Amino acid sequence: MIRHEVHFGRVVPCFIDRPPSVDALFRSWAARTPDALAVVDGGRRVTYGALDAAVERLADGLFAHGVRKGARVATLVGNHLAVVELSLACARIGAIHVTLDIRQRRPEIAYILAQSGAMLLVHDAACAAELPEAAEVPELRYRFVAGGVAAGSVPYEELFTPLAPDRAAQVLAAEVFEEDPFCILYTSGTTGKPKGAVLTHLGVIHSCLHYRYALGLEPGDRTVLAVPNAHMTGLVGVIHGTLAAGACLILMGQFKARLFLELAAREKLTAALMVPAMYNLCLLDPQFEQLDLSSWRIAAFGGAPMPEASARRLKEKSPKLTLFNVYGATETSSPVAILPRDAPPERLDSVGRLMPCIDLKVMDEDGREVPPGTPGELWIAGASIVPGYWRNPEADATAFVGGYWRSGDVGSMDAEGYLKVFDRKKDMINRAGYKVYSAEVESVLVFHPDVSEAAVVGYPDPVLGERVEAFVVAGADLSVDELRRFCAARLSDYKVPDRVTILPDGLPRNPNGKVMKSVLRERAAG
């Protein structure tokens, strides 16, 4: 049952029957099925009851270090149990979880920690060399290390030290409301700086319920976290989407096709949410047909289009699989629309129908709604849309109009409610589901003293979808290897250009002086 409600000054459709917070949703399953398996992390197998008890101790530990409602707690960890525990513990006390990707580099990490005002960080030991100096992150008071030791960081296990009974009783004194922030996820900015999308408990709960109902997730399902936990798909879609269904979450440290297939067979995987490139790599592995994957029934994908040939081969090799095309974004808490691959053939060029608590308008450049079937920009509203960006009123003013988020995506909606998406956001490169904005990479390239101009475009790749190529105007003594090393020290590895072309005569420009990226894309594709 759905009704319209006012949240953040917007009138949005909401599920009537819903828990008041992410913590309440998790604890409902811990109370009903305490002995059910919640998380598998290598050799560790944790039940819902045990996970709930660990989250309670961790919440106490966070409280003992001054973490209160609204404080930001950052994680720079891989797909391990710690990130699940910390996300749930933050939800329990009303702290705001800030996620960082272990592939990010020091300048990116320093910016996010400083911009979010995080007071506590838990990081992998392997990431210690990328941590910023204290002066760069003045609000960061505590550093904890997981999976090893690091100078200046306290072992993560010490956060579980019990509090005195009178102190522990204070931890839950601050009530958590559904409009409170749940986490901040940073999206690459077209101006070179990432924006922190503020996801609320209301939005994440609706996203989890959408995933559960649309994909048919059940308590007996077993889902593998193969994508990074620091992004929307991993944190909300897989981690909390799985726990919201009372299902079992299986953690995979780093995706490798062979390891994923072996893990899926061993743990009797039933559901996965990954990017198409991961499915493509699985199809290339001969073990796909030799291992027992008969339990696998849900194969959801998003972040990039699934090649029709790949979808057909998946169905041929695993007839029980139902493929789901998921369309969404960080700002929508994902998903906006979902299309099952067994939909009518005439609908396979769409991304499906809207989720129940999503409202969408297709608008022209003058801000007027266009007729069904007519292309326009997708403006999206609903219970799961973020209220705005963290400490960024300029971005809010540009991105949100009349209660709708302007996606920048071009698409159309037909009379039957099927949504098509034609173009991605301007100048965005989709590398295996990772979004790379050209402006962000260009800003790093031109920071090199020998580079005067730079333009970045994508070029087709049969496995990853797209790769990154940089065209630069630079001195004759600058080598491609040196420039790539320069980028690698400042950017996530997937943002580092795969190819660099040095143009001695300058970038191609039109009569108005604008760089003609269409010419560069043609050259890169050739």
| pLDDT at site 131 | 98
Average pLDDT over residues 5-25: 97
Q: Which of 88-92, 133-137, 459-463 bottoms out in mean pLDDT, i.e. has the lowest?
A: 459-463
Higher pLDDT pick, 360 / 451: 360
| pLDDT at site 311 | 84
- Is 3.40.50.720 the CATH number for 20-35+48-177? no
Distance CA 504, CA 115 (A): 38
The phi and psi torsions of 156 (rounded to 5 degrees) equal: -55, -35
Tokens of 256: 């490798």
| pLDDT at site 172 | 56
SS3 assignment, position 414: coil
pLDDT band of residue 513 (cuts 50, 70, 90) is low
Residue 512 scores a pLDDT above 60: no
Domains 20-35+48-177 and 428-525 belong to one CATH topology: no
Tens digit of pLDDT for each residue in 70-79?
999 999 999 9
Those residues whose C-beta lies under 8 Å from the C-beta of residue 211, and which sit 6 or more positions away, are: 217, 237, 241, 244, 245, 273, 335
| pLDDT at site 231 | 93
SS3 assignment, position 399: helix
Tens digit of pLDDT for each residue in 397-449?
999 999 999 998 888 999 999 999 886 656 778 899 887 878 789 889 988 98
Percent of all residues in the chain with a pLDDT value above 70, rounded to a whole number: 94
Phi-psi region of 433 (alpha: psi -120 to 50; beta: other; left: phi over 0): left
Distance CA 197, CA 391 (A): 10
Distance CA 99, CA 515 (A): 35
Is residue 378 packed enough to be buried (19+ CB in 10 Å), middle (13-18) or exposed (0-12)? buried
Residue 101 scores a pLDDT above 80: yes
| pLDDT at site 316 | 87
Percent of all residues in the chain with a pLDDT value above 90, rounded to a whole number: 77
Tens digit of pLDDT for each residue in 168-211?
555 555 689 999 999 999 986 545 689 999 999 999 999 999 99
Distance of CA 147 to the CA centre of its chain: 23
Domain ranges of the chain: 20-35+48-177, 428-525
Average pLDDT over residues 445-466: 91
Distance CA 323, CA 500 (A): 36
Residue 335 scores a pLDDT above 80: yes
- Selection from 414, 388, 410 nearest residue 399 by Cα: 388
Strand bridging mode 428-431 / 434-437: antiparallel
| pLDDT at site 423 | 62
Residue 511 scores a pLDDT above 80: no
Tokens 């129908």 belong to 353
SS3 assignment, position 265: helix
- Is 1.10.1530.10 the CATH number for 428-525? no
Is residue 504 packed enough to be buried (19+ CB in 10 Å), middle (13-18) or exposed (0-12)? exposed
- Selection from 242, 219, 218 nearest residue 229 by Cα: 242
Tokens 């989407």 belong to 241
- Selection from 280, 251, 277 nearest residue 264 by Cα: 251
H/E/C letters for each residue in 144-190? EEECCCCCCCEEHHHHHCCCCHHHHCCHHHCCCCCCCEEEEEEECCC
Average pLDDT over residues 465-492: 93
Average pLDDT over residues 4-24: 97
Tokens of 437: 């904005």
Tens digit of pLDDT for each residue in 256-315?
999 999 999 999 999 999 988 899 899 989 999 899 999 999 999 987 777 777 888 888
Is residue 262 packed enough to be buried (19+ CB in 10 Å), middle (13-18) or exposed (0-12)? middle
Distance CA 482, CA 153 (A): 33
Residue 59 scores a pLDDT above 90: yes
Residue 232 scores a pLDDT above 90: yes
Average pLDDT over residues 452-460: 91
Residue 514 scores a pLDDT above 80: no
Those residues whose C-beta lies under 8 Å from the C-beta of residue 114, and which sit 6 or more positions away, are: 132, 136, 137, 138, 139
Signed CA dihedral, 468, 469, 473, 479: sign only? positive
| pLDDT at site 162 | 66
Q: What is the pTM of this model?
A: 0.88
The angle that helices 257-266 and 276-284 make with each other, rounded to 10 degrees, is: 90
Instruction: Look at the chain and count its residues.
Output: 526
Higher pLDDT pick, 361 / 342: 361
